[in-house]
Every structure is written in C-alpha cells, then in structure tokens.
Amino acid sequence: MSERAPGAGRFAPSPSGDLHLGNLRTALLAWLFARSTGRRFLMRVEDLDRVRPGAEARQLDDLAALGLDWDGEIVRQSERLPLYSAALETLTDAGLTYECFCTRREIQQAATAPHGPDGHYPGTCRDLTEAQRQAKRDAGRPPAVRLRAAASEFTVHDELHGSYTGAVDDVVLRRGDGVPAYNLAVVVDDADQGVDQVVRGDDLLSSAPRQAYLATLLGLPVPRYAHVPLALNDEGKRLAKRDGAVTLADQRAAGRSPDWVLAALARSLGMAADGEAPTLSELLPRFDPSNLPRTPWIFTRG
C-alpha cells in the first residue's frame, strides 16, 4: 500500500446517474465529519459496475455547486485493478478463498446457512472437490471467487449506532466476469488512501462488519464508521429519481439555487433555523455528531 498522510474521510458515489438530495445530504455530512476533525476529504468514483455517460461530471459539478471541496486527485476504481488483484492474491495464498459457480438464482433458492440471516451465502461451493470444480468449469460456468470466512459475526464501532455486531459470510471478492467485487474494492481503497473515517447511509450498516473483518484478514486498519439516516419520500421509501424534483438540476429548474438547497439540507440536520441560509463555513463550527437526527429525513416535494 502506498504511504500517505494519515487521516481522511471520503465520499464515493457510483456514476450511475445524478445525485439526489439524499446523496447530497450524505456528501455534506461526510465533508462535515472530515473537516471538523482535521481530516482530508477525498473523492472516489466507484465505477466498477454501472456507469452512465456524463454522470460523473454532473455529480462532481453538483457537489462543487454546494461548495464541497476535496483534497488531491479524484480516484477511480477502474484505474486501480492491480491493487484489488494483489489483495485477492494475498487472501488466496493464505487459503482464504474458493471458487463459486452458483448463479444468483441458485443462491436465492438455496437454504440459508444456519449462522447467517436471509440473503447470506449458504456455502454451496465451499467444499467442492477439485473434480467437481473442474466439471463445472468444463460445463462453461465461469467461477466467482469468495472469501472463506472463519467467523460468523464481527463487531464495529459506529459514531451514531455505537457498538454494532453483524453477520459475516463468504462474500464475493471477484465476480464471475472477472470484475472485483464492491466489498473487496472498498476495503482496499480505504486503506490505500488513508481513509480512517467512513461516513455513508445507514442502509450500509450491515455491510460494515464483513468489510471490517475482511480488512483484518488483509492486515489493514479498520476505519471508524458513521452510518447516517437516509432520505425517504413521503411514503417512507428510499428517495429516488422517480419521486421527482430530487436532484440539484430539478431544484434549479424550480428556481431554487444551490444555496437554497444547502440551507434545506442544513435544516434537515437541525443545523439551521427556518429562513436561515448558512454557508459551509458557518455550518462547520456548528457541527456536532451527537446532535444529528437519528431518524430518516422525509423529503416532501413542494
């Protein structure tokens, strides 16, 4: 891993579309967490999966329009494949991986492992013989590579949720198409970039234990986590573009400036009064994680 100055937070969107107000709110929180603790703030584009042309540029423009700044060059996962390969090789050399030939449908239909919750891999391919693996290869099934986990759960500390223990299973490290999987890439990237503070939506809280466990297997430090409440629509569902008027471009079309949006986000976090429009420099000294809402922000159009 490369040597960098210690201490950083980050925002790491996938360029699959425009950021909605919930994404922008999480980015604001990640920036506030980092800047208020003297950390660098890094921008990483997680482009190993869905990439929509022009989405990255629009996302970065929207973040800049709110006044968010970041340190150093923007990092793209697609440019870091050798790092993921090296980490996978380390795990394989230690006997901590195995090939998995299951399709997504087969996994969904299989019985869940006794120690894991619904959706966790039941270990179907864990103990295949070499002859069985070769037969599947000969049948034309490209294997994914999974972690051979020796733990069923792991505990992390979260700034908002406290001590959190979650299930660990044999997560995919490399997909059947050869693309590094998210759980491996994010662990490798955070360690390589010196990220020791991960702020993201609380829908990812259950992923933290398996990622922290994977980091320990690779001999990498485990970051401090802060999983923040999501933005939901008035039906209590995760905010999405189908809810209408949820992007910065939508708000601009309605005559609302980025400063207006920043103020609305600040109010949703209890950091601004009605009618107030604080700047980022004014928000920073007000920021106190202990005062953050613990419930979702319900966004109502209007």
Share of the chain above pLDDT 90, in %: 81
| Rounded Cα distance, 132 and 188, in Å | 32
Q: Residue 169 falls within a domain, yes or no?
A: yes
In this prediction, residue 57 carries a pLDDT of 97
**Residue 241 marked ligand-binding:** yes
Q: What is the mean pLDDT of residues 274-289?
A: 95
Alpha helices (H) in the chain, listed in sequence order: 21-36, 55-65, 81-93, 104-109, 130-138, 182-192, 208-217, 248-253, 258-268, 280-283
**Arithmetic mean of pLDDT over the chain:** 91
Specify whether 66 is located in the same domain as 115. no
Q: Which of 56-60, 229-233, 271-275 has the lowest mean pLDDT?
A: 229-233
Higher pLDDT, 298 or 33: 33
**Residue 182 marked ligand-binding:** yes
Q: Residue 179 falls within a domain, yes or no?
A: yes
Specify whether 58 is located in the same domain as 93. no
Q: Model confidence at 3, in pLDDT bands (50, 70, 90)?
A: very low
**Residue 249 marked ligand-binding:** no
Which of 124, 154, 185 corresponds to the end of one domain?
185
Higher pLDDT, 113 or 144: 144
In this prediction, residue 237 carries a pLDDT of 80
Q: What is the mean pLDDT of residues 149-162?
A: 96
Q: Residue 270 falls within a domain, yes or no?
A: yes
* Res 4 pLDDT > 50: no
Specify whether 88 is located in the same domain as 151. yes
Q: Each residue of 220-272: pLDDT tens digit?
A: 999 999 999 998 887 778 776 665 668 999 999 989 999 999 999 999 999 99
| Rounded Cα distance, 78 and 54, in Å | 16
Range(s) of the domain holding residue 49: 8-78+229-298
Q: Residue 217 falls within a domain, yes or no?
A: no
Q: Residue 221 falls within a domain, yes or no?
A: no
Specify whether 127 is located in the same domain as 73. no
Q: Residue 152's domain is classified under what CATH number?
A: 3.90.800.10
Q: Each residue of 191-206: pLDDT tens digit?
A: 999 999 999 999 999 9
Q: Each residue of 61-96: pLDDT tens digit?
A: 999 999 999 999 999 999 999 999 999 999 999 999
Specify whether 30 is located in the same domain as 72. yes
In this prediction, residue 301 carries a pLDDT of 65
Number of domains in the chain: 2
Specify whether 28 is located in the same domain as 63. yes
**Residue 46 marked ligand-binding:** yes
Q: Model confidence at 302, in pLDDT bands (50, 70, 90)?
A: low
Active site residues: 241
**Exposed/middle/buried for residue 238 (C-beta within 10 Å: 0-12, 13-18, 19+):** middle
